[in-house]
Amino acid sequence: MIQQEQPQASPDGMPTFKEVVLSSVQYHLRVDGPEKTREYFRSQTSFYAHDDRWPEIQREADDLILAYESPRQAATVPIGKPLQNWILKKNHNGRPIDFVRLRQVIELHFIIELRHFYDWLALWRILYDLNLLEDTRQSAFAEQMNIWFPHASKRCQADSMGDYSTPYLGQYPFAGWTEAAFMSHKTKKQSVSGFRRVFHLCETLKEQLRQIPVIG
């Protein structure tokens, strides 16, 4: 059974569903730490993903986890050195992009999910579609990602991204992807399972980057 703190009651005296879930997340953070809390929350998502309230709860839970672990995340960046950036635009809608926060979101929702070298194409595709890339070359993208995430389980490689980039996934925006169109363009290096994998990662990233982190 999930142990919880006593959440703040709603006006009718009973805690809301969101309050119960977020209270449980806070408890697990203190007792189990951020990594196990992520595993716990992913297991809950399989039960509640159909609930209309879940996307909002998921975003708030992610914020709790990021806030809890921010000192540890910051330690992965060389002390005294800002995050290097030469591929991303500096501003979004007239406000400076918070690259530290952006990096945290990518780490939380993408880096820990890496399974294949070609998975990196999903991140490149979404950043491209969100008009965040100043330099759209996949070679430049790979170079910066390897600096941002030196301990990623799969090193970012432009050649591996290229295995799935052409002639379809790298040429067309994610919003227009269909499996039928992919099949009509598929090469010998590509598979339906690979397409579905990249598609799923793009869906997750698009949702989590619905609001680009900015400063001020």
> Which tens digit of pLDDT belongs to each residue from 146-168?
999 888 889 999 999 999 999 99
Mean pLDDT along residues 72-101: 75
| Average pLDDT for 180-209 | 96
Residue 5 has pLDDT above 50, yes or no: no
Average pLDDT, the chain: 84
Name beta bridge partners: 97: 214
Indicate the range of 11-15, 19-23, 202-206 predicted with least confidence: 11-15
pTM: 0.67
Give CA–CA dist 129/108, Å, rounded: 20
Does 145 score more than 70 pLDDT? yes
% of the chain beyond a pLDDT of 90: 53
DSSP code for 166: I
